[in-house]
Amino acid sequence: MSQANFLTGTDTEVGKTLIAAALLRAAAAQGLRALGMKPVAAGGDEDVDALVAAGNVAAPRELINPYLLREPLSPHLAARRDGTAIDLERIARCFGELRGRADFLIVEGAGGFRVPLGDTHDGADLAARLGLPLILVVGLRLGCLNHALLTAEAIRARGLPLAGWVANQVDPAMACVAENVDTLRARLPAPLLGVVPFQDHPNPAQVATLLELPE
């Protein structure tokens, strides 16, 4: 059975795609068949392109990204404006087809863990439907401690395991970075997979050297 994880973040713009691509590159460097999935992309397909470039397995684009929405809005709003609805079962079918193609699969969620995907379901429902262990990307900036701990609590409430977390510094001026990481290391019930310092031009290949794969 291949290894698959659902990657989420403490918020939007915390570097989820960067970390997902870096993990895929790290897996590929270990000789694994690595493949990324972005079920919902809103406002462009740059994230999808990054995941495709980082993996080493070819797969149909419509499986990797079942929903490409035009506007950079919360997915439920972007889908409504596009006249469509995000169907978790369709995503689950695409995931099932992809899983057999790879040894290491990353499913990157949209926004934060509880971002709405429709009138009655959200990102947490998608993670639960797929039944995958979570990787949490913590965007290191003021407020990240609360966001990280609340997200971990929400993951636990869904009965999903937290396989690991990554500290990604998104604010170059953040004070007490090491102290914040130490605080989260003591409080989050999962291993720290890596600390990524702020980068003006993030490079997934370089970031891959800073990360460990989840067990």
Could you tell me what percent of the chain has a pLDDT over 70?
100
Q: Write down all domains in the chain, each with its CATH number in brackets.
A: 3-208 (3.40.50.300)
In whole angstroms, what is the distance from residue 167 CA to residue 191 CA? 11
Q: What span, in angstroms and rounded, lies between the C-alpha atoms of 152 and 155? A: 5
Answering whether pTM is above 0.85, one says yes
Alpha helices (H) in the chain, listed in sequence order: 16-29, 46-54, 61-64, 75-81, 88-99, 123-130, 144-157, 177-187, 204-208
- For residue 105, report the phi and psi dihedrals to the nearest 5 degrees: -125, 130
- Match 């890596």 to its residue by tokens: 194
Please give the Cα distance from 136 to 34 (Å, whole number).
19
Q: Dig out the tokens for 178 from the structure.
A: 């090491």
| Catalytic residue chosen out of the listed positions 25, 38, 76, 99 | 38
Distance CA(189)–CA(99), nearest Å, equals 27
What pLDDT shows up at residue 1? 56
pLDDT tens for residues 129-179? 999 999 999 999 999 999 999 999 999 999 999 999 999 999 999 999 999
Residues 6+ apart with CB under 8 A from 176: none
At 81 the pLDDT is 97
Tokens 């972007």 belong to residue? 78
Which pLDDT score is estimated for 2? 81
State the Cα–Cα distance between residues 62 and 68, nearest whole angstrom. 9
Reply yes or no on whether 16 is catalytic.
no
Q: 153 — phi, psi (to 5°)?
A: -65, -40
Phi, psi of 34 (to 5 degrees): -110, 135
119: exposed, middle or buried (Cβ count in 10 Å: 0-12, 13-18, 19+): exposed
Q: Are 40 and 17 in contact (CB under 8 A)?
A: no
Stretches where the chain sits below pLDDT 50 are none
